[in-house]
Each structure stands twice: as C-alpha cells, then as structure tokens.
Amino acid sequence: MPVGNTVTRIIVSIIAIPAILLVSYLGSYYFISFCLLIGSISYYELWVFVKDKNINVNLLLGISSIVLVITNVFNHFIDFYFLTILIIAAVTLIELFRNNGSPIINTGTTLLGIFYIGLFSSALVYLRELYPTDYEKGGFIIISVLISIWICDSAAFFGGTALGKHKLFPRVSPKKSWEGAVFGLFFAVISMIISKLVLLDFLSWKDVIIIGLIVGVIGQVGDLIESLFKRDAGVKDSSAFIPGHGGIFDRFDSLLYTGPIVLLYLKYLV
C-alpha cells in the first residue's frame, strides 16, 4: 500500500472512529442518522456499481424505502408487515412503467438493496434501542461490537499477510486466507472478553464469548458477501467515498451482517 494512502487511512480513522463511537453512545436520533447514512450511501453505491451489469436499480424509491424501514424501527408508525407490502407493491408498480432494461433483474436488485442494506441497517437501530429503560447498555453493545469488528479485520489482515497459505474463498476474495480468518476470529473473541471487563458487565461470560464468535465468523461472512457482489459487478471498491478506505458499503459490510445476528441472539437467546 502506498505511503500516502496509508497516511490518509490513518487520518480518516483518527477522525471517524471517535465520532462513530460517540454517536453510538448517544443513541437516539444521532445513531439513527448514522444508520441512515450507512443505508442510503451503501444503496447509492450499489446503484452505481451494478450499472456495469446493465441493472437499473430504482434509486429514489430504494433510498426512500430504506429511510422508511430504518425510521420505522424507532418511531413505529406502521407495522413492518404492511410496510413490506407497500414497498414491494411500489417497486413492482413503478417498474411496470420504467421500460429500462430487464424488469425482473431491476426489481430483484432494487428489493435486494432495500431488504439487505435497509433492513440490516434498521437492525442496528433496533439493537441500540434494545434496552430502553437502561439506555446506555445498547450503546455499550454497539461500541463493543464495532471495536471487535475493527480488531477482527486488522487481525485477519496482518495474520493473513504474515502466515496466510490456505485460501479461504478464492472465487470471491483471492487474498483472504484461513489463517487470517482464524486470527480475526480469535481476536474478535478476545476483544469481546475485554469489553466484558470494561463495558459489558451486564452480560454473562457466555454471552460475550458467543457475541465474539458471531463477530469473528458472521462479520467475515458479511465481508465475503459484499465481495461477492462487487466481484460480480467487476469493481474493487463500492466507491471512493471515504478517502483511503473505499466506500461506505466496504467499511460497514461486516457490521451490517453482524448487527442483526447479535440482535437475534440478545433478543431470543439471552
């Protein structure tokens, strides 16, 4: 990696990481705005990079639907079942009049973006709001998961660079190795154990270890899934939105996939 690009990455990280942790701690509309940013920009990036596949995603309707899905988790203005009906009806009805490429592929990709990016972004809001009577707890969980993801990514990169010999998933991401993945998993669990000592005293040791395993496994799967889409579209990064880091979708793919699984675990198994 060029020195200039490394310096840019470090500067952006120094600025962005404290800001992200702060909005995660504050919650409420601060965190909702953060999730709206992730969802909307990631959807825009998807719209851009699938164009080379001659796929014409409905950008305006897609972003509008994502905003509705995310804000509905916080404000509960409509039952999600009925919101889903409205979104699918609107996407298919508008596609009837678009006459812009393949209606099946356009509709499928538009809905994929809404319910993959939008629904998974909304799960982060749900996770942050999981403890309304003890509001800081949700913030501590989000912060711990974020830190664990970042440590997992770094450990996987450095471990894979130093020791990687066995390809993890060459069809999707040729540079990733099993050795790197194991390093990432190990340090994700260690990170959550440390979070238990610092922030998550209200969770059991079993819970933090399981969340660490979720981050270490599911987070890396989320990264592979986004890589699958990008490889199919023939792009390296989802965009150049974040200097030195690529796109929003690139930076938060692991969080988008991890958040809903952590939510399911805490909601139904704790």
Left, alpha or beta for 76 (phi > 0: left; psi -120 to 50: alpha)? left
Compute, in degrees rounded to 10, the torsion defined by CA atoms 210, 212, 214, 219.
180
Give the side-chain half-sphere CA count within 13 A for 136. Answer: 4
* Tens digit of each residue's pLDDT, the chain (270 residues): 454 567 787 888 899 999 999 999 999 999 999 999 999 999 999 999 999 889 999 999 999 999 999 999 999 999 999 999 999 999 999 999 999 999 999 999 999 999 999 999 999 999 999 999 999 999 999 999 999 999 999 999 999 999 989 999 999 998 899 999 999 999 999 999 999 999 999 999 999 999 999 999 999 999 999 999 999 998 888 988 888 788 999 999 999 999 999 999 999 998
* One-letter identity of residue 224: L
How far is the C-alpha of 106 from the C-alpha of 163, rounded, in Å? 42
Closest CA to 128 of 268, 269, 270, 266: 266
Contacts 24+ apart (CB under 8 A), 47-50: 47/113, 48/239, 49/229, 49/230, 49/233, 49/235, 49/238, 49/239, 50/109, 50/233
pTM score over 0.85: yes
Closest CA to 266 of 119, 130, 142, 134: 130
Closest CA to 270 of 192, 197, 198, 206: 206
- Total of domains in the chain: 1
User: Which range marks the domain in which residue 99 is found?
Assistant: 3-268
